[in-house]
Amino acid sequence: MWEKKVYMNEKNTVFSGVQPSGDPQLGNYLGAFKGWVERQEEKDNYFCVVDLHALTVTPDPIELRKQTRELAAILFACGIDPDKSTLFVQSHVSSHAESCWLLNCVTPIGWLERMTQFKDKSKGQERVSTGLLDYPVLMAGDILLYDAQEVPVGEDQKQHVELARDIAERFNRIYGETFVIPEPVIPEIGGRVMGLNDPNVKMSKSYSHIRGHAVRMLDDPKEIERSFMRAVTDSSNEIRFSDDPDRAGVNNLLGIYKVITGKPEESVERDFYDARGYGDLKKAVAEVVIEELSPIREKYHQLINDVEELDRLLSIGAEQARAISDQKLRLMKEKMGLIVS
Ligand code: ATP
Ligand code: LTN
């Protein structure tokens, strides 16, 4: 009876993180933030601005501090509600960096050298920081400290979540049951928004300074319209979903329209039966994006102009995160044979 009651009241724990590494873009919103907000009620949520991860590529200190606050403000503006979710900055909760060291000691180095992101980011670089190699272990700590069952991420981060599972299993095997084994959750829709200047490359905030690549979440309506009007398409003038790589531009535009309007594909295509060409499609997509992002931009400006309130919200988040993660860190230390005071 007691067990049943606990089970019925229990929500799955969700953990996800985002790096303050550039201007948040439409892909971050559709592939991540929108879903986080929509599912807040159903889950026990931890959302983290992962500033320690951002350090792996040596950002400018002033920019990093600024982008950390901006990203947190954007997340609150999207609708992350401090009464329903814990939103905090990674470096405010010291158990993240500490758990990374402990997990390093059970992670074979070969597991890290095999990571696709590490190989991509280190390719052609003369010097690569140890932090870049160790990035997935810090990420494993983020997830495992909260016993998260679900980790919503884009396709590109699936390998890192799988590594977190391997690390958790190895730790449990060596030291006894300690961690819940997490699952990556990849959104079906909005999973991959592509660059407007090159629809074969994922839209990404670290390229958001490149002209024509991204729609930044804080762009004003004129800029958003301009970006869509310049978007790369093809010469066929056919407004239909397709997996043909030559038609990736139009497919991307239709995908964005579909996620925002929530319409099924047939109905999206029907909306463009009478369109006179790609110009009409681009205008329609720009319109729904502008409508979606405008209230977020307004709320963002209110919050970012009240840094005291923003920092207050973040310190509440950090306190809530500490209450959970400190206990798990203590357990890890005990299991590993450290003297816990
Ligand atoms: P960076 O350029 O710093 O890697 P990014 O824009 O690729 O940044 P991340 O910080 O890696 O974004 O990811 C934050 C979240 O946004 C993740 O869940 C990721 O999967 C999602 N995301 C990022 N870009 C896209 C995209 N183009 N389409 C869908 N989801 C995306
Ligand atoms: N590596 C992730 C960000 C990230 C994360 C996490 C995501 C850091 N820690 C824990 C999920 C869970 C990225 O670049 N998107």
Amino acid occupying residue 295: P
Q: What is the pLDDT of residue 190?
A: 56
Task: Tell me the pLDDT tens digit for each residue of 189-242.
Answer: 655 899 999 999 999 988 888 889 999 999 999 999 999 999 999 998 899 999
As a whole number of angstroms, the distance between CA 119 and CA 130 comes to 13
Encoded tokens for 149: 């069952």
Q: What is the pLDDT of residue 5?
A: 38
**2, pLDDT greater than 70:** no
Catalytic status, residue 283: no
* DSSP secondary structure string for all residues of 87-147: EEEGGGSTHHHHHHHHHHTTS-HHHHHT-HHHHHHHTT-S---HHHHHHHHHHHHHHHTTT
Name the burial class of residue 112, with classes exposed (0-12), middle (13-18) and buried (19+) by CB atoms within 10 angstroms of its CB.
middle
Q: Is 192 in the pocket of ligand 1 (CB under 6 A)?
A: yes
Ligand 1 centre to CA of 309 (Å) is: 27
Q: Please name the residues in contact with 179: beta carbons below 8 A apart, sequence gap of 6 or more.
A: 144, 147, 168, 171, 172
% of the chain surpassing 70 pLDDT:
96
Q: Average pLDDT, stretch 141-159?
A: 95
Encoded tokens for 56: 């792996």
Catalytic status, residue 202: yes
Q: What is the pLDDT of residue 7?
A: 44
**155, pLDDT greater than 70:** yes
How far from chain centre, in Å, is Cα 143?
Answer: 13
Q: What is the pLDDT of residue 191?
A: 59
Residues with CB under 6 A from ligand 2: 15-19, 50, 53, 139, 142-143, 151, 153, 157, 160
Q: Average pLDDT, stretch 117-128?
A: 93
Ligand 2 centre to CA of 206 (Å) is: 15
DSSP 3-state assignment of 323?
Answer: helix
Ligand 1 centre to CA of 29 (Å) is: 9
Closest CA to 98 of 287, 328, 256: 328
Task: Tell me the pLDDT tens digit for each residue of 29-81.
Answer: 998 999 999 999 999 999 999 999 999 988 899 999 999 999 999 999 999 99
Band of pLDDT at residue 6, cut at 50, 70 and 90: very low
